[in-house]
Amino acid sequence: MGLNIIVLAKQVPDTRNVGKDAMKADGTVNRAALPAIFNPEDLNALEQALRLKEKYPGTKVTLLTMGPGRAAEIIREGLFRGADGGILLTDRAFAGSDTLATSYALSCAIRKIKTYDLILAGRQAIDGDTAQVGPQVAEKLGLPQVTYVEEILSAEKGKLRLKRRLERGVETVETPMPVLLTINGSAAPCRPRNARLVMKYKHARTVTERQNLSEDYIDLANDRPYLNIPEWSVNDIECDANSLGLSGSPTKVKKIENVVFQAKEARHIQANEQEIEELVKELIANHTIG
């Protein structure tokens, strides 16, 4: 039984290697100083989708990403790893979206895609760290959702068996499909790009990219339709314009502050029963653990 899977993915600034110039004076992210990457937990989500594709022949994996034109790179990165296709949701009208407006736009696009058994998203993006978009999309589509998923154990007879990674353990749950899952960073890392797929899809472009770039292989996509990355604007999805972008975003950033962690002196203890016990007692006493 093949599944139709949509993977929600986001292009994010690489906040894992933040330098001094990561933030601008006005408190916004200096995107130019940080390389744009595939949000790490979205890669974990893609890997889960690709594993299902290997396990259940006929499965189709489609990436959906919202962002500026250059976010088409996310679709290509997905194609290089084994996704079957992808859609770039891009329009000036989406600019300034908070999680509510983003999840609204994504849910409208998913309604247009129509056929799906499973929507996978990373738990959260490393730029905003909200973990809200996945759950909000599920709510807007009226779908059940399972968060913190670490592994999809099986997808049989319209039901998924899942392993969730929770703070104090692992939970195995079962859910009907269609369903939205958010995948945890502890899930299997995404596979590397595949050499053949990279060579096959490296010329994949959106229409806008073809117009803007001086491409040598401009006619190639006529013979190879898989090289066209669909680009959807506001006009391509049914939506209420007031719920998009800045006007659809109730979140207002008041102020951004630099927080400097205060490093305290390290303490060394000997690896013997007595010192360990004393430390544990101390930690319980000051409520660090317990």
Q: Which residues bind another protein (CB under 8 A)?
A: 17, 191-200, 202, 216-217, 220, 224
Nearest approach, Cβ of residue 149 and another protein (Å): 22
Read off the amino acid at residue 274: Q
Based on CB atoms, which residue is closest to another protein, 8 or 190? Answer: 190
For 23, 32, 47, 252, 255, the CA distances from 98, given in Å and listed in that order, are 19, 20, 26, 9, 16
Instruction: Using the CB atoms, write b or e for 157-175: b if 16+ within 10 Å.
Output: eeebebbbbeeeeeeeeeb
Based on CB atoms, which residue is closest to another protein, 44 or 102? Answer: 44
Based on CB atoms, which residue is closest to another protein, 47 or 150? Answer: 47
Based on CB atoms, which residue is closest to another protein, 51 or 161? Answer: 51
Using DSSP's 3-state secondary structure scheme, residue 226 falls into helix
Based on CB atoms, which residue is closest to another protein, 225 or 290? Answer: 225
Cβ contacts of residue 265 below 8 Å, gap of 6+?
none
Q: Which H or E element spans position 89?
A: strand 85-89
Question: What are the residues facing 161 on neighbouring strands?
Answer: 154, 174
Tell me whether residue 268 is exposed, middle or buried, using C-beta atoms within 10 angstroms of its C-beta: 0 to 12, 13 to 18, 19 or more.
Answer: exposed
Backbone dihedral region for residue 112 (phi beyond 0: left; psi -120 to 50: alpha; all else: beta)? alpha
Nearest approach, Cβ of residue 220 and another protein (Å): 7
CA distance 117 to 62: 12
Nearest approach, Cβ of residue 112 and another protein (Å): 28
Using DSSP's 3-state secondary structure scheme, residue 43 falls into helix
Q: Which H or E element spans position 120?
A: strand 118-122
Nearest approach, Cβ of residue 268 and another protein (Å): 19
Based on CB atoms, which residue is closest to another protein, 83 or 105? Answer: 83
Nearest approach, Cβ of residue 65 and another protein (Å): 21
CA distance 151 to 161: 9
Nearest approach, Cβ of residue 203 and another protein (Å): 8
Based on CB atoms, which residue is closest to another protein, 177 or 198? Answer: 198
- Tokens (6 digits) for 41: 């937990």
Q: Which of 237, 181, 228 is nearest to 207 (CA)?
A: 228
Based on CB atoms, which residue is closest to another protein, 217 or 275? Answer: 217
Nearest approach, Cβ of residue 189 and another protein (Å): 9
Nearest approach, Cβ of residue 14 and another protein (Å): 9
